Copies of this chain bind each other. A is one copy, B any other.
């Protein structure tokens, strides 16, 4: 299982737009093969930090996701509404 943490730093006046765009991205993504979990979280102290927490069965499933129509259309929109580049880490569980 591959866990992805994608931490986005959103412009304060674009949070609602990103939440709307993300809703559509999530609805399409959870139907993808190999998608275990795909959820958006908001930092309790800083509402402009919106982090996608994902779980994928394999690297292939994750690669297919990044080639999907909805990913290619929506993720750049989130990028446009960001203050700075997202921090994305791919993880494996160790303990």
- Using CB atoms and an 8 Å cutoff, list the residues of chain A in contact with chain B: 2-3, 5, 7, 19, 22-23, 26, 39-45, 49-51, 53, 89-95
Contact = CB atoms under 8 A, between A and B. Distances in A.
Given A26-B95, A94-B19, A94-B50, A7 B89 contact: yes
A85 B46 CA distance: 19
A4 to B, nearest CB: 10
Contacts of A22: 95
Contacts of A44: 2, 90-92
- Chain A's interface: helix, strand, loop or mixed, by majority? strand
Contacts of A39: 93, 95
A15 to B, nearest CB: 10
Nearest to A45: B90
Query: Taking each of A3, A26, A44, A94, which has the highest tally of chain B beta carbons within 10 Å of its own beta carbon?
Result: A94
Given A2-B44, A19-B94, A94-B40, A51 B89 contact: yes
